[in-house]
Structure 1
Amino acid sequence: MAPEKPDLRRLLAVTPNLHWRYSGVTSTILALAPHVARLAPVACVGAHLPPETPKISFWQILSRGWSRPPCGGHRLWHARRNDEIIVGLLLKHVLRQPWKIIFTWAGQRRQSHFTRWMLRRIDGVIATSEASASYLEVPCIVIHHGVDIGRFQPLADRAAEWRKAGLPGRFGVGCFGRIRAQKGTDVLVEAALRLLPKYPDATLLLTGLITPENEDFVAGLKAKIAAAGLEPRILFLGEQPREKMPHWFALVTLYVAPMRWEGFGLTPLEAMASGTAVVATRTGAAAQLVADGDTGFLVPPDDVDALAAAMEPLLADPDKAAAMGARAREKAQARHDIAQEAGKIVAFYAQILGVRLTA
C-alpha cells in the first residue's frame, strides 16, 4: 500500500527545494526529510524529491496555504537558500498566509547586504557549525549536520566488491561531488600524479557533475593525467545516481575531501559512516568531523605537498586505512547520527511556533 500523501492543512513545516540542479544542499534536505517526518508532520516541495521523501505540490500551498495550522497560529517555511527565503516572505507578507520562516546557514563568509536584510525579517536561524554562526549578525542556534548511518554502511567484504566492480588495481581512493576548482579536484589530481606511480594497487575514482563552465577545467586535468600515462587509474565516472552513492563511499578505502573552501562539507561524514578513512582540508566542519591521526588526517587547503604527504601512508598501508575507517564508523555512529540532528531541528520548530510537540 502506498503511503498517504501529506496534506498541507495537517503539516507543521514545509521545506522547499527550489534548485533545478542537484546540489549538496539538496542532498542534505533529502537525507533529513524522512527522519524529521518521523518526529513531526512535515513535507518538502520542489525538485529532485524521490518517492521516500514526504512531499506536497505548490498547488497545495496556493490552494490551502490560508488554512488553520495544526499547532498554534502558524506553520513553518524552512529555507536553505536565498530564493527560498524570498518565496517564504512572499507567502507570508504578500499572500498573507500564516507562515513563520526559518533559515539554515552553512556558509563561512559574510552574507550579502540583501541576505542580511532578509535574515532580520525572518523568525529563526540555524547555523550548521560554530564557524558558520560566527558570520551571522542575527541570533541563531547551532545544529550540526548528521549522517544517515543506516543508509551509509561499510561493506561486508570491500576487496571482493572491488574485484566484482572490475576496477583497476586492488583498492580505491574516492572524491565525490561537483568537479570544479572550489572543490580542489585539481589539487587532488596533482597529488595523485605524484603518488599513483609509486602505489600501483591504488585507483582514484572521481564522481560528480561537470557543469558547462567547468568543462575547460576538467579538460586540463584530463590532459595532465594523459600526459602522465595514468588515464586507466584516474577515472572520471560522471554524475552518479543518489541511490548508488552509499556503495561508492563504502567501496573506496580512502576518501579525500580536498576543498579550497566549504560551508559544512557532508561528504567526509558520509565516508566515515561507510567505514572509510578520510583525508580532508581544514575547511567547513572537517575539523569537527575528522579526528586527525585517528579516523583520518587534516591538511591545509590548496596545498599539494601536504595532501600527498597525508595520503601516502594510507596508500602504502591499506590495512592502516581500513583500521582508521572502522574507527570513523564508530565515531559517526556515536556522535553524528542524523537522528540526533532531526530531533534538534524539530525541537527548534516547536520553540519558534511556541508549541509543545509529542512524539
Structure 2
Amino acid sequence: MHAVHDALGRIRDEGRHVKIALISEHASPLAVAGGVDSGGQNIYVANVARQLVRIGHEVDVFTRCDCSLLPLIFRFENIRVINVPAGPAVQLPKEQLLPHMDAFARFMIDFMKNEATPYQVVHANFFMSGLVGLQIKLTLRVPLVTTFHALGRVRRLYQGESDNFPDERFAIEDELVKHSDSVIAECPQDENDLINLYDADPSRIDLVPCGFDRFEFHPLDKESARERLGWPQDKFIILQLGRMVPRKGVDNVVRALSLCVNEHGEEANLYVAGGNSDEANDIATPEIGRLRGIARECRIEERVHFVGRHGRKSLKHFYNAADVSVTTPWYEPFGITPLEAMACGRPVIGADVGGIRYSVAHGETGLLVPPKDPAALAQALVRLKRNPELAERMGEMGYARARTLFTWPGVAESLAQVYAHVAGVQVPSVPRVAAGGASR
C-alpha cells in the first residue's frame, strides 16, 4: 500500500494527472441518499470524485439539473458539479429520463469543446450516462469507462413486469459493452453477468468494488449508541437500513421477525431506517404503509419500528446500536450497506445474491441466506441471537475485511489505474491495490 501512495504522489508531483468527466445522469453527488432514486450510486459518485481529487486528479461530475434553483456549476471539495439542462428542471423518475439523453449529450459535447484543458477520460455511471458517454466518445474521441451499477437483463429477470425501463435499454447496454474501453464490474457476479448475458470481452472488464468511508463508519460503544437513539438496552435489535422499495425485500425481514418470535420463541425487535422523508410515514413512503400492513398481519406491529431517513453522519449510530444488520434484496448489483455495517463491527445477514455474496464472507463475517425465504432468515437470526460470541467474532472479522478490501481510497486508486490505461497516460508503475483489486 505504501508503494501505491508513493507512486500516486509522484504522479501528482510530476503533473501527470488525468482530467475526468464523471457522468451520473440521475444520481447527483449532492443528493440526499435514501429516496426512491437516491442511494448507492449517489454515494459512489460522490466518494469516487472526492478520492480522485485527493490523489491529484481533476474531476467534473455531470448530472441532470432537476431543480430550477440550481446553478449551472456548483463547486464542493475541489470538484465541479455541472447541472446539465436536459429536460424539465424538476425531479423525474429515472425510468423517464431516456428521452432527455440526447440533449444531455449535446450539452456535454459543447461544454467539453469549450474547456481550456481537454478531458482525457469519460466515466459513465448507469446505462443512460453510458449512452451520453458513447456519443462523446464517437464525437470527441475521448476514452469511455462504464460502470452499469445494475444490468437491464438482470433487473428484468428479477423484476419482471414491475421493471419500467424500456426494452431499448438492452440494445444500449450491448453497444456500451462492445464499445467501452473498460467496463467496471463491481463484483464477480457482475463480471459473470457481463460475460454470459452481454458477451463482454473479459480483457476489457476491470473488477473494482464499491467502498465505505472509514472516517464515517467505525465501531462505537453499543450502549452509548442506543442511548443516543433512545433504543432499549435490553433487547435484541435487528437493523434494516436502505431505500424503501419492494426489491429491497424488507417484507422478508418483517416476516422473518414474526417467525423468530412466534415459532422460535425468541424476543427481538426490528428497526427500519429509510424512506422518502425524515418522517417514517405511509404518505411520503407508500412502501412503509405496505410493510406496516404485513407487520399487523403477522401480529408483530409493536416490534417493528420505522425511524425514517437520516443523514449520513448519523448512520454509524444506527449500525452500532444494532445486534445484527440485515439486507435481503431480491437482487443487488453490489450493496453498500453491508460494508458500512461491517465497518462498524456488526455481523451481517444478507441475501445470497450479487455483490452481497462477494462482500459478506459466509460463516466468517456474517451469514448468507436465499432471498424471499423468511424461514431461512429467521434461522440465521436465531443462530446469532443464541450465540452472541459468534456474532461478536463475525463483527470483528467483518471490520477487518471491510478495511482491507473495501475503502473508497482503494477504489479510487484502482479506478485511477484504469483511467491511466485507457487514456494512454504514462505514469509510474502502481501495483493493483486490494480494493477488490482492479485487474485485466
Q: Same fold (TM over 0.5)?
A: yes
Q: What letter is aligned with 2:206?
A: I
Q: Are residues 57 and 106 of structure 1, via their aligned partners in 2, closer, same or farther at CA, if it must alter by over 3 Å?
A: closer
Question: Helix, strand or coil: the match of 1:284?
Answer: coil
Q: Are residues 240 and 219 of structure 1, via their aligned partners in 2, closer, same or farther at CA, if it must alter by over 3 Å?
A: same
Question: Helix, strand or coil: the match of 1:120?
Answer: helix
Deviations 1:155-199 (A, max 9, x none): 1x1112202321245352111112233111111110011224634
Report the Cα offset of residue 217 of structure 1.
Answer: 4.8
Q: Are residues 223 and 243 of structure 1, via their aligned partners in 2, closer, same or farther at CA, if it must alter by over 3 Å?
A: same
* In 2, Cα distance between equivalents of 1:352 and 1:330: 32
Matches within 5 A, 1:29-178: 29-39=45-55, 40-46=57-63, 51-52=76-77, 54-58=79-83, 64-66=111-113, 74-93=119-138, 96-97=139-140, 99-107=142-150, 109=153, 112-136=170-194, 137-139=199-201, 140-155=205-220, 157-168=221-232, 169-178=234-243
Q: TM-score, normalised by structure 2?
A: 0.70
Match of 1:4?
none
Q: TM-score, normalised by structure 1?
A: 0.84
1:182 paired residue among 227, 247, 271: 247
2:19 paired residue among 12, 18, 27: 12
Match of 2:40?
24
Question: Helix, strand or coil: the match of 1:164?
Answer: helix
Q: Are residues 31 and 53 of structure 1, via their aligned partners in 2, closer, same or farther at CA, if it must alter by over 3 Å?
A: farther
Report the Cα offset of residue 296 of structure 1.
Answer: 1.0
Match of 2:331?
261
Matches within 5 A, 1:327-338: 327-338=397-408
Q: Are residues 226 and 53 of structure 1, via their aligned partners in 2, closer, same or farther at CA, if it must alter by over 3 Å?
A: farther
* In 1, Cα distance between equivalents of 2:370 and 2:129: 33
Question: Helix, strand or coil: the match of 2:254?
Answer: helix
* In 2, Cα distance between equivalents of 1:313 and 1:353: 50
Mapped contact 1:180–1:210 kept (Cα < 8 A): no
In structure 2, the gaps of 5 or more residues are: 1-16, 28-36, 67-73, 85-106, 155-168, 431-440
Match of 2:290?
220
Question: Helix, strand or coil: the match of 2:371?
Answer: coil
Q: What letter is aligned with 2:275?
A: L
**Share of identical aligned residues, percent?**
24
Q: What letter is aligned with 1:340?
A: G
* In 2, Cα distance between equivalents of 1:118 and 1:331: 32
Q: Superposition RMSD on alpha carbons, in Å? A: 3.1
Match of 2:260?
195
* In 2, Cα distance between equivalents of 1:306 and 1:148: 31
Mapped contact 1:43–1:53 kept (Cα < 8 A): no
Q: What letter is aligned with 1:12?
A: K
Aligned residues: 344
* In 2, Cα distance between equivalents of 1:44 and 1:215: 29
Report the Cα offset of residue 64 of structure 1.
Answer: 4.9
Q: What letter is aligned with 2:332?
A: E
Mapped contact 1:173–1:255 kept (Cα < 8 A): yes
In structure 1, the gaps of 5 or more residues are: 1-9
Report the Cα offset of residue 100 of structure 1.
Answer: 2.4
Question: Helix, strand or coil: the match of 2:361?
Answer: coil
Q: What letter is aligned with 1:167?
A: W
* In 2, Cα distance between equivalents of 1:97 and 1:114: 19
Mapped contact 2:75–2:81 kept (Cα < 8 A): no
Mapped contact 1:154–1:275 kept (Cα < 8 A): yes
Q: Are residues 247 and 33 of structure 1, via their aligned partners in 2, closer, same or farther at CA, if it must alter by over 3 Å?
A: farther
